[in-house]
Structure formats: C-alpha cells, structure tokens
Amino acid sequence: MTATTDIPLPQPTELSRPFWEAANEGRLTLQRCDACGHLRWTPQILCTNCLAEPFTWVDVSGRGRLYSYTIVHRAPLAGFEIPYVLAVVELEEGPLMLTRLVDSPIENLAVEAPVEVAFTRASDEINLYTFRLAG
Amino acid sequence: MRKVNGARDIAIVGVHATRQQKKSGRTVVSMMMESIRGALDDAGIPLSEVDGYISYIFPAGNGRGFDDGAIAEQFGHPIAMTAQTSGAKAVLLAGAAIRAGIAKVVIIPAAGAQSLAGDMATYTRPTFEFTEWTGSMTPAQYGIMARRHMHEFGTTIEQMAEIAANSHYNASINPQAVRFGDDVQTVERILNGRMIADPLTQPMCSLVNDGASCIVVTSAERAQDCRHPPVWVLGGAAETHGNSYFEAPSLRMLGTRQLMIDGFARAGVRHDDIDIVMCYDHFAHGPIVQFETLGFCEPGEGGAYVPDAIRLDGVHPSSMDGGNLAYSHNMIPYNFKQIEVVNQFRNVVEDLCPGWREGVHTYDRAICRKVRDPKLSVGCGPLTDARHAFTILAKD
C-alpha cells in the first residue's frame, strides 16, 4: 500500500479501541474469552464460542497462512491504487482475517503461503494491520 | 408431530417481474407497486385480501421508509404479518405463517434501482472499520472464495467460465434479459474479459440494474379459486451462519451442508427426483458451491459436475432466464429463482420460439430455453458466503 491518504480510515469504537491502540504500537491483538479461551475476530461483545462476556486482549504471533486472495483491478473508490491484493489470512492461532497484502510480488503469491503482519501507517492514530509474504 | 413438509397445502399462486433494465429512471416504490399489482392480478386476488408482507425495507420518500407501518398505511388496511427477507427464505416463512393461521395471503415484493448510482453495487461494502480500509468489494469477496475453491478442490477457471457462459447464452434467447441483444459471452470471451477481481472477469460478475418482482403465496384452499394451477411449496431449508461482507469470506458454508440436505428428507424428496435447480449465479463460482452445499454432489465435485448439469438439456437446468449474470440483478434478485420455476411449470417462457405465447416450444436450443416437462424443482436464494436458502417446488 502506498497511498493511504484518500482511503476511508477506520473509526475505532469503544469495543475496538484497544485493538487499534495496540496496532499503533505494532502489536496484533485479539480478544480471548476468559471463560473458554476461544480467540475471536472481529471484535465481538460476547464470546462466539460460549457467549461469556469477560475477555482479555492478548497479543498474537502475527504469523499465518494465505487462506486465499484476489488481485483487484477495479477499485470501489478512487482512493485505492490498483492493482492491489485483498487477502484472507488464517492466523496461526486460528481466526480468519480480511486484510491487504503489501510488499509481496504478485508472481510469488500462492494459497497457503506463509505470511506475517506488516503494518502500514495511515495516520497518527491508525496503523493498518496489513500482511506480507513471510521471508 | 404433524407432518407438514411435503404436503401440498401451501402454494405460489401469483408471480410478476417488471421490465429489468439499466438506468430506468424509475423509483423503487413505483416499480415495486407495479410488481405487486402484476402478481396479484396474475393470482386473481385483490390487494384487500393481502395480510402478509415480506420484503427488505428500504428508504422511501421523506425518510419514512417502507416498514410495516408504512405498508399498512399505504395499503389502507391492517397487515397481520411482516418480515424482512426475500426469495426462497420468504416463501418458506410465508408458508409457515399461513399454516399457523397468522396470515392468509402473503406478498413478497422486491425492487431495486441501484444503477443510477453507478455501475458498481455499494450495498456489500459496509462502512465497517475492519472492512472498508481494505478495499473489499463484492467481486473481490467472491474472487477470494473462487480461488480458495480452485486451491482446495482443483476447480478450474474454465469450469467457472462455462457456468457463466450458460447464463449468458440463455439470456441471448430471453428477450426479457438485461443482456438480451448484446454480444453473446462465450467461454473464450469470458476468460478474456476485463479483469475485475482475479480470477473473476466482468462477465463472471453479477449485473447491476433496476427492476422489481413479486410472488404471492397462499393456502391450498384459497389457491383453488386462483387463475393458474398452484405451484406447491413442499419445503426447503434456510441458514445464516455469519455476517457476510463484514467478516472474512470463506468456504465454511460447506461445513453446514447437512442443514440443507435435511430439507430434502423433510419434504420426502430425493435429489434424483429434482428437475430444475434454479441456483444462484451471483458470481461464476456460486453454482458450484451451491450444488455441493445442497447435496447434489460432494464438496469438490461441483467443478466437474455443474457445467454440464445446468445446461438446458442437462440433468438440473439452471439460470434458464440468464440468471444474475445476464437476466437481472436488481439488488434483491432472489425472487427470480422462484419465478422462473413457476414460469417453466406453467409453460409461460418467453424466448425466440414463434409460438411461445401459446406455449408451443421447439426445444431447438438456438431459439428455445424451455425445459422439457419439469415437475419438481429447486429455487435458491439468498446465497452469500454465510447465507443460504432454497425451496422445493412442485406442480400437479
């Protein structure tokens, strides 16, 4: 991702603010249920496994595999510079994450390829959790 | 427990589709009211008898919206049952409400006028903090699913192009199709089409156009006095297991296929007995995942099975109208899958056969899109990565 100025930036909510604050420090965090230990993404008020409410934000490895991807040639908004790679990453810890791949040559992309979180700074508050092919 | 699935007690008795077209300049409400009047006229039931209404709610004039209150106000009489969905799921809900005595005549209108806003749909791009920044959009979401299917099962892009070509071909002999009269998209043209979200080219993506449709559902008793023979709703199934377009798209629907397969058993119907399968060709991979999820083939077999199965003379013809890819995608195209089954059952199928108005078909596939003598069919929709529904429809 090169230009991040003209794309719609995330507006953190009360629920998601800790995630974005961690991202700002270069950490990828997920909610872990205090009752059953289930990790969930995206942020939810209740555990998606056991419906318990208490949870803790925990750092995850930022490593995973490419579940699948697409190279987008027709952007929904002018601010997105084409082509770009929209991807679903299967985190080592389990959850699927919709994200963007950066710094990854298109000819090297392959489903199941190992990936790692890259982070792309978009503003003082927002550090986007992009991914890239792992070296 | 009283056995209700498989009984011939609930019927589709009226259907109507307005002209489907690009940039009609018409309002959603105007098209929707035309479709309601058309479907009630088709059924021979006056609006005063309608006491059930199922449709997605959308903004109408002056910010009032078309919610249950606005509908009752507009119709000038009480509405006993309202719900928000469409297509197969709405038909199943209508049947349940009628069986329970909550409503007697349920209408299921659906309308959209999206294309004035541009040639790309906006409704699957939520302004959600974990989606919007990624540049996610509808074809990209399904491009991801298509590629995953290719990886997991060896499905090929040529197989997906064949499925798209079936829809485009059928639209070329359906004068009601939005793409009627355009150059026919062959497999080769589809593969070489403008790339939207790799591997999906433009002819593998749904249309964006205007139009409306409506279905009328009632009891067997009320159906006796209607204008056409009833189309029986024998059963079906519906499931929602996630928040499509907000969450990461995946093939996890295949993990819940037993919920769909159980619907056939409840209705006392075997897959082999089904003629038409009006599946949901929102993108070219869609029918593959859907045939697998419904249990017509095993997960992974759809790529080889579906392209031949869905042809006009195949074992399970589909998208005979041209489908979402080439007939109409008016934002909410679910009803069309039911309507095409009804039209095929009734032998009211507009194509290029000189005698189609009289129900005389040639079965020459250069001009004819009529399926030979269908009696038992499946009508699908909605279908996303996390929502699915179908009905089993029968004629006497």
Render pLDDT for B59-89 as a digit per residue (tens, 0 to 9): 555 555 667 787 888 889 999 999 999 999 9
Give the one of B122, B130, B199 whose C-beta lies nearest to A98's C-beta: B130
Residues B150, A124: Cα–Cα separation, whole Å: 40
Assembly ipTM = 0.96
A–B interface: beta-carbon pairs under 8 A:
105
CA angle B295, B341, B169 (to 5 degrees): 85
Q: Which two tokens stand for residue A133?
A: 């092919």
Q: Range(s) for CATH 2.40.50 in chain A? A: 61-135
Q: Which two tokens stand for residue A94?
A: 């389990």
Q: Is the pLDDT of residue A40 over 80?
A: yes
Residues B290, B312: Cα–Cα separation, whole Å: 18
- With CB atoms and an 8 Å threshold, state whether B248 touches A96: yes
Closest to B395 in 3D by CA, of B376, B379, B371, B373: B376
CB atoms within 10 A of CB A109: 18
**Which of A4-8, B231-235, B330-334 comes out lowest in average pLDDT?**
A4-8
Q: Is the pLDDT of residue A29 over 70?
A: yes
pLDDT of residue B28: 83
- What CATH code would you report for A61-135? 2.40.50
Confidence of residue B2 (pLDDT cuts 50, 70, 90): very low
pLDDT of residue A5: 63
Q: In sequence order, which ranges of B76-156 are alpha helices (DSSP H)?
A: 87-99, 138-153
A75 contacts in B (CB within 8 Å)? Answer: 135, 137
Give me the residue spans of the domains in chain B.
10-117+208-394
Q: Is B131 on the interface with A (CB under 8 A)?
A: yes
Residues B119, B103: Cα–Cα separation, whole Å: 39
Q: Which two tokens stand for residue A50?
A: 């056991």
Q: Which two tokens stand for residue B46?
A: 């006056």
Give A8-14's long-range contacts (Cβ < 8 A, gap of 24+).
Answer: A8/A77, A8/A79, A8/B127, A8/B132, A8/B133, A9/A122, A9/A123, A9/A126, A9/B133, A10/A126, A10/A128, A10/B129, A10/B130, A10/B132, A10/B133, A11/B129, A12/A125, A12/B129, A13/B129
Q: Tell me the C-alpha to C-alpha distance, in Å, between residue B209 and each of B168, B236, B373.
A: 16, 29, 31
A8 contacts in B (CB within 8 Å)? Answer: 127, 132-133
Q: In sequence order, which ranges of B192-250 are alpha helices (DSSP H)?
A: 220-223
Q: Tell me the C-alpha to C-alpha distance, in Å, between residue B40 and each of B78, B134, B334.
A: 17, 45, 19
The structure tokens 């099975």 sit at B305
pLDDT of residue B118: 61
- 3.30.342.10, 2.60.40.10, 3.40.47.10, 2.30.110.10: which CATH number matches B10-117+208-394? 3.40.47.10
